[in-house]
Structure 1
């Protein structure tokens, strides 16, 4: 016989914490202290239906996997829930009263889609996608660095036809781009990462699914089209056996490579994300309202019994900070020999070490400016590699991400030696429009790449060469101190 709302409502404290998700009741009393997002969020929904909060952040079935069977208490008769138990999101998108929602047809470029998403997404979702570290200056520098590289077009060349295809780790891609791993797609759309996977398949470029995706990697693989290229992003878990189990599964599911993200041993301080969390709590808690409104030098940033956590802090709490270069061979073995991509390279020495330790590709990335404030843009790191470790460009595929918004941005990276570019935030913003939005981003990039490849005087990506750019202004920002390749000391220890 189903439980009633009254049965559940009594269990609304640390001593006994029950919660309803998709019509099922779970006893989270023992689990709550170890919840990655903190115990506070569970207490907020104790004795209530938390489905609306749960769905955008967790892949289906996550709670069933996390809890022992005896913690699954059965179904609840939803008709018996009180109004207080039926949690409904009341925060609305940022449309002014009477303002019409933005139209996808009016979006001519990726910045237009970003502005539309800011209007359409709920504030918590917007804050998570848009947030960057500290003062967000690195986020801005990622964009600004493209303006420090000028193009040097050729003319009087027959550019009637242009070929934008390439291969990434041996897999054909219709464009020199891939969907970069970004989490929590269902914050923007109920189908979330499914939209990204569908459009990547139809457009013919790879999709790298985030380890923290709100749709499971199993579900993405099950809907994959024949021949679709899927990569899996791995954050190594403190419990290595959990990562080994995932690697074994993704290999069996047909993922083509493992992307080990190495620039996030801890999550960066993303204050925009944290403030959204604070504002949400402040709206419901009088004490929180008082704390958040305080502006003096001693004003607390969060309730004193538990640190404030944005979505990013909660998601990254399981990551193993002890990861080292030697662990790349462990990842390869655990995945059955899949190619390894190392994501988060920010200096020439680490690019050389990644190549030495067997990486098949590296991604030059400062995590979209979300981790270490002051880290170099991917174009800076690319120039540093060309200066100090040029052999890396011949030994591994070099990919970039961070701040790419135009076809000309992509072409500048390719001219300097990159093989491909990851597009992250624009695809996440586009989810506000579902599949149509994702298609729009892909179409804009394809059109801009084709147009500007022709304007450069090239008919294929192989013809986009270093002589087509002038990066002198950006080179002034490149490290110019003493340098010794780390490979020499590594080999000396053998």
Structure 2
């Protein structure tokens, strides 16, 4: 068994050892190609990096860098020096004199977000909250709801209300699903398992994210409503392996993210990484790295997106369906009527109108705007496939506005991730708040079931000012099919 001093002697580029879960690995050859950058490995060279490693890598898996041939043996943890031991990152505390954060004090999803900002570690908060560039699209997602007014109907018997719906053939108790947001274990050790457990309890779908997920955990796949997300890898064979495994594990659909050929510029995430790396790296030698500001920062999102295949095209949909054993294909990241029509033409079973929570293309439309654009230019799409949406939804009234415009379901991402600060109880709180708000406001609109939420219940004139008003020709019309 190795000692702490044995490991500490290998803390440079020339010889880089690291401790993960009591095992010592030689990462010397791997370090220059590490997707998250070499600097983070050098920071933990000769040390125990378990706490840094766990939230970002899938549990129960061995990454290529930690293959058996790189395993040098176990380490006696009792022999580690204080400098080698994991260091707890500081947690944001409530200001002096402010009441402590309690789940019971959270009355809505914004309350849960504010609580999470105070409870989560800075790196976790930065990753969840970050958006692209100046974060204007993130703001516009919320502002879009304020541009749409209701036209409630009255004098109707709304004693009973039915919020169930069918999503790709499976009943959901709400027109809501848990969006495939990654890195749940940055907030809670169980991460995605919490989300899967509570989603199953409430009878709503959960799209399990591939990055960092306990992909084949029984908790994550036991419910018939679970779907799996996929970012297509540049090495198509790896994607095929994942899709076969997803099908074998019993998932009911494959959700392909299509709006992230590269990761957006999420400066909040990058700054958190810079702050973390500002600590001097404990190694010496002529090849010691320059100061952190001389090396471009790479946040968690950039590191996770480094393997994505930028060549993905419409003609790949049959390959995805075949590789997944015929699972229904959901395309996440549609922002135009043209692409909605193309998705239907190429056989997608559902699309998710999404600007990635404002995290990808700054200036992309909100899902409400895209719903209006499809209704204007390609209304047949609503009959050809299921239209789901996400991005900035925080209230039951937000969800009802999307349903009135033709959406079948609404994805909730950040609020569920924030709620992980409270574990299962927090996730349950988010689902319960949405259920209660939906029931209350469905009645206030004068409806008793979801198909009674119709376009005439909305005034969208203000939001329509943002729609494309130039010439339009459908990309699936006969005159254009030959050009595809």
Give secondary structure in 1 for the equivalent of 2:420: helix
Q: Call closer, same or farther: CA 1:66–1:172 in 2, change over 3 Å.
A: farther
1:218 corresponds, among 216, 219, 237, to: 216
The 3-state SS of whatever aligns with 2:476 is helix
Of 395, 413, 433, which residue of structure 1 is paired with 2:402? 413
Structure 2 spans left out of the alignment, 5+ residues: 283-289
Does the 8 Å CA contact 2:390/2:412 hold for their aligned counterparts? Answer: yes
| Separation in structure 2 between the aligned mates of residue 225 and residue 241 of structure 1, nearest angstrom | 23
* Corresponding position of 1:292: none
TM-score norm. by structure 2 comes to: 0.95
TM-score for the superposition, normalised by structure 1: 0.94
Question: Which residue pairs with 2:317 in the alignment?
Answer: 328
Distance 1:355 1:118 in 2: 40
**RMSD of aligned alpha carbons:** 1.7
Counterpart of 2:437 in structure 1 is 448
| CA deviation vs aligned residue, 1:353-379 (integer Å, no higher than 9, x gap) | 011011000000000000011000000
Unaligned residue ranges in structure 1 (runs of 5+): 287-299
Aligned to 1:275: 271
Match of residue 430 from structure 1: 419
Counterpart Cα distance in 2 of 1:218 and 1:224: 7
- State the secondary structure of the residue aligned to 2:254: strand
Query: What corresponds to 1:150 in structure 2?
Result: 149
Supply the distance in 2 between the matched residues of 1:378 and 1:130 (Cα, whole angstroms): 19
Write out per-residue CA displacement over residues 191-231 of structure 1, whole angstroms, 9 at most, x where no aligned residue.
1111000000000000001121x332111xx1257543111
User: Shift of residue 62 of structure 1?
Assistant: 3.6
| Structure 1 pair 262–224 and aligned structure 2 pair: CA distance change class (3 A) | closer
Q: Show the 5 A alignment for 1:300-449.
A: 303-304=293-294, 306-449=295-438
Match of 2:123 in 1: 124
C-alpha contact 1:101 1:120 (8 A) present in aligned 2: no
Deviates more, 1:60-69 or 1:355-364: 60-69
What is the Cα deviation at residue 56 of structure 1? 1.2
Separation (CA, whole Å) in 1 of partners of 2:330 and 2:291: 38
> Aligned partners of 1:150, 1:301: CA distance in 2, in Å?
53
Residue by residue, what CA displacement relative to the aligned partner does 1:418-461 show, whole Å, maximum 9, x if unpaired? 00000000000000000000000000000000000000010000
The question of whether the paired residues in 2 share the 8 Å contact of 1:137 and 1:373 is answered with: yes
**Rounded Cα–Cα distance in structure 1 between residues aligned with 2:35 and 2:449:** 47
SS at match of 1:217: coil
Distance 1:302 1:316 in 2: 22
Q: What is the deviation of 1:75?
A: 0.9
- Name the CA distance, whole Å, in 2 between partners of 1:143 and 1:265: 25
CA contact (8 A) 2:193 2:214 kept: no
Report the CA distance between 1:63 and its aligned residue: 3.6
Distance in structure 2 (CA, Å) of the matches to 1:64 and 1:346 = 34
Separation of aligned partners in 2, 1:77 and 1:109: 47
After superposition, residues 98-109 of structure 1 pair within 5 angstroms as: 99-109=98-108
Deviation at 1:463, TM superposition (A): 0.6
SS at match of 1:84: coil
